[in-house]
Structure 1
Amino acid sequence: MADNIINFIIPFLIDQIADDDDDCMAVNMLKAQLDNGIIRKKREKCHGFFERTVPSLFPDTFRRFFRVSRGTAEVLCQHLGRCRELKKREYRGGREELATDKKVLITLRYLASQENTMEISDRFGITEYTFLKHKEKVIHCINNNLLGKFIKWPSDAEMNTIAHQFNDIGAYNFPGVVGAIDGSHIPIEPPSENPNSYYNRKRFHSIILQGICKDDLQFIHTNIGWPGRVHDAKVLKNSSIWTDGYQKCRFGQNHLLGDAAYPLKVWLITPYRDTGRLTRQQKYFNKCLASKRQVIERAFGLLKGRFRRLKHINNRSVISICDSIQAACVLHNICIQNGEDIEEFLEQEDQNEDQVLNPVNIAENDADGAIKRINITNLLSN
C-alpha cells in the first residue's frame, strides 16, 4: 500500500509543479533525478491503484489528476459503455479483461499528462501492450460515437442565441457572430514521413488544429491534420467549412470572426489591415472584432491546459496523433457541457504568427465581404 501511495504522490507532485510554467525547470530536474535513479523509483506495477487508491481520492485530487471531475468521468463511462468495442466480454478463462471505467481512466490520464506508456501502464497495473490497445480503443470510440453528438454546427435557433451571447461579451457590440475561427499548433515528434513539412515558422514540428468555437468556448467545428508549415488560409481552403461556410452561416446572414491570416468573406469577417492609414472607425471596428475573437484563443488555452498531452505528443504516427487531438476536443466540449470550471485549467494561448507575419493577400477578399464589413463598421460607429 505504501508503494502505491509513493507511486501516486511523486507524479502527482510533478503535475502540481507543472501547472506553473515558471517551475518547468524544477519539473525537468525532478524527472531527470527519477530517470537517473537519484531518487529511487523501482519499476513495479501498482497493484490496487485503480481498485483502491482512485476511489479514495478527494474530489479535487481526482480532478487535478485526471483533469476532469469524477462526475464527468462517470458521464463519459456511461456514453462509452454503450460502445460495442468497449463492452466487457464474458470471462472464458485466462487474463480477465479490463472494466470499461478502467479503460476510460487510463485514457484520461494519458490525455491529461505527459507521462509515458511505461509510467501509465505501471501505475494501473497493466502491461504496456494492454494500455496502448485499450487507449486506442477508447479514443476510437470517442471519435466514432461521440464526435457527432458533442461537436456539431448549431441549429438556426441556436445561432440566434449564440449571436446574442457573442454580442454581450465584453464592452463592445458586434452583431451576427456565430463563431470564432483560428488555427493552433500542436507540438509533435518529427513524423516518420515528410518530417520537414511539419516544421513550422516557430521552429518546432507540429500538426495544425483548426477550430471554430462559440461564445462559451465549445467547439462547433474542427479540422485536424495539416502539417505545421502550412498557412492558416490554406488549411481553411482545404476544410469543409470553406465549401459550406456560406450556407452554414445562413447565406451570409451570420458570420464567423477570423484574424488577418484569413480572407474576408461575407460569412467570415476579418480585421482591416493596418498600414498606418486606418480611420478612427476602422480602428474601432478592429478593436470590437478582437474583443469577440479572443474566445477561440481561450478555447485553445483551455483545451491544452486541461489535456496536457497536446503540449507535446510523443508519437510518430500522424493518424494516431490526429485521433488523440480530436478526442481531446470532444472531451473538451463534454467537460463544458457538464459544468466543469473553465478557469481552473485555462492557460494563455500563444498568438498565431500567421496573422502577424503572413496576412492574407487582399486580392483574395470578396466584394460582398468588403461591403458587409463596411456596413458593420458604420453600425458600430453610430
Structure 2
Amino acid sequence: MAMVMLLVDIADFEEEDEEVLQLRITRKRLRDELNVFNLPDIQFKNLFRVSKDLVRDLVTELRPHLQRERPNGLSVKTLVLCIIRFHAVGSYQRAIGQDFALALSQTAVGRCIRSVSVVINDHMLRRWIKFPATPEQREAAKIKFANALQPFPGAIGAIDCTHVGIVAPKENEEAFVNHHGYHSMNVQMICDPELRILNVSARFPGSRHDAAIWMQSPVRNLM
C-alpha cells in the first residue's frame, strides 16, 4: 500500500513538473513573439513611463554586467524592461509577471528586480546622482532654481523624505513601523527643479524621523 501511494505521489509530481515546464515554454514563446519596441511610441511610454531610446541606452549600458551564460536565460532586454515596468506602475511582482509585455513568473520578476538593481547601484548610481559640491556647480544649481517655473532664488536643491512600504522584516521589526502604522523605509531625496535626483539616502527604517536622517546625511556635512 505504501509503495502504491509513493508511486501516486511520484506521478503527481511528474505531472506538476510537466505543467511548470509547459508554462515556461509558453511564456518564452510569448516573449519571443512580442517585441514591445514595435509598439507605438505613445503606447510604449504609457507602459514603461520612459522612451524607447532610454531603454535601449540602459540595455547597452547594463549588458556587460547582466549578460547570462545560459543560452535559454532571460535576455538583458527582458531584465531591463521588467524592472522599468515594476517601478513605472509600483505594482506587485506577480502582476508584473502576468503583464502581456513580459510573461514572467513571480520568482523570475523578483530575481530581475534584485539583479538589475544591484548592477545599477554598483555601476551607474554614482555617475549620474551627484550633489553640487564645488562653488561652480552650486552657482549653476542656483541659476536653475532662479529660472525655474516657480523660482526659488538661492536654493541649490529641494529636499524631503518619503515612506516606501516594505514587507515586515524578521529582525528589528518594530523599528520599521512608521507613524502611519505600517512598515517602511524612510527615504531622503534631494532633487533639482527638473526633478533630477541629486542625492538619495535609503538606509533608514520607517520609525526614524526626517530630522534625524538629515543630521546623519553626508550632504549636511558637505554643506
Which string of whole-angstrom CA distances, capped at 9 and with x for unpartnered residues, describes residues 207-258 of structure 1?
111111122211111111212222111111122223222xxxxxxxxxxxxx
**Aligned letter for 1:62?**
F
Candidates 106, 120, 124, aligned match of 2:96: 120
The structure-2 alpha-carbon separation of the partners of 1:171 and 1:81, relative to structure 1 and needing over 3 Å to count, comes to: closer
Candidates 74, 84, 87, aligned match of 1:111: 87
Residue 99 of structure 1 corresponds to 75
SS in 2 for 1:178: coil
In the alignment, structure 2 segments of 5+ residues that lack a partner are 1-22
Aligned residues: percent identity? 24
Residue 218 of structure 2 corresponds to 240
2:59·2:80 contact (CA, 8 Å) conserved in 1?
yes
SS in 1 for 2:87: helix
**Aligned letter for 2:39?**
L
In the alignment, structure 1 segments of 5+ residues that lack a partner are 1-43, 246-382
Candidates 166, 170, 186, aligned match of 2:164: 186
Residue 161 of structure 1 corresponds to 140
Candidates 192, 196, 202, aligned match of 2:174: 196
Q: d(CA) in 2 for partners of 1:116 and 1:213?
A: 27
Q: d(CA) in 1 for partners of 2:44 and 2:105?
A: 23
Q: d(CA) in 2 for partners of 1:180 and 1:128?
A: 36
Residue 52 of structure 2 corresponds to 70
1:151 offset after TM fit, Å? Answer: 0.4
User: What does 1:329-368 correspond to in 2, within 5 Å?
Assistant: none
2:190·2:200 contact (CA, 8 Å) conserved in 1?
yes
1:179 offset after TM fit, Å? Answer: 1.1
**Aligned letter for 2:127?**
K
**Aligned letter for 1:178?**
I
The structure-2 alpha-carbon separation of the partners of 1:241 and 1:55, relative to structure 1 and needing over 3 Å to count, comes to: closer
Scaled by the length of structure 2, the TM-score of the pair is 0.76
1:116 offset after TM fit, Å? Answer: 3.3
**Aligned letter for 1:150?**
W
Candidates 220, 226, 236, aligned match of 2:198: 220
The structure-2 alpha-carbon separation of the partners of 1:160 and 1:115, relative to structure 1 and needing over 3 Å to count, comes to: closer
Candidates 73, 83, 89, aligned match of 2:69: 89
The structure-2 alpha-carbon separation of the partners of 1:226 and 1:60, relative to structure 1 and needing over 3 Å to count, comes to: same
Q: d(CA) in 2 for partners of 1:77 and 1:172?
A: 36
- RMSD, aligned α-carbons: 2.4
Greater relative contact order (CA < 8 Å, ≥ 6 in sequence): 1
Is residue 2:129 matched to residue 1:148?
Answer: no
User: What does 1:294-313 correspond to in 2, within 5 Å?
Assistant: none
Which string of whole-angstrom CA distances, capped at 9 and with x for unpartnered residues, describes residues 116-149 of structure 1?
3334334434444433323311111011000011
Which string of whole-angstrom CA distances, capped at 9 and with x for unpartnered residues, describes residues 138-188 of structure 1?
11101100001110123443322211121223566623x211221111122
1:163·1:178 contact (CA, 8 Å) conserved in 2?
yes
Residue 33 of structure 2 corresponds to 52
Q: d(CA) in 1 for partners of 2:84 and 2:152?
A: 39
2:164·2:184 contact (CA, 8 Å) conserved in 1?
yes
The structure-2 alpha-carbon separation of the partners of 1:51 and 1:59, relative to structure 1 and needing over 3 Å to count, comes to: farther
**Aligned letter for 1:229?**
S
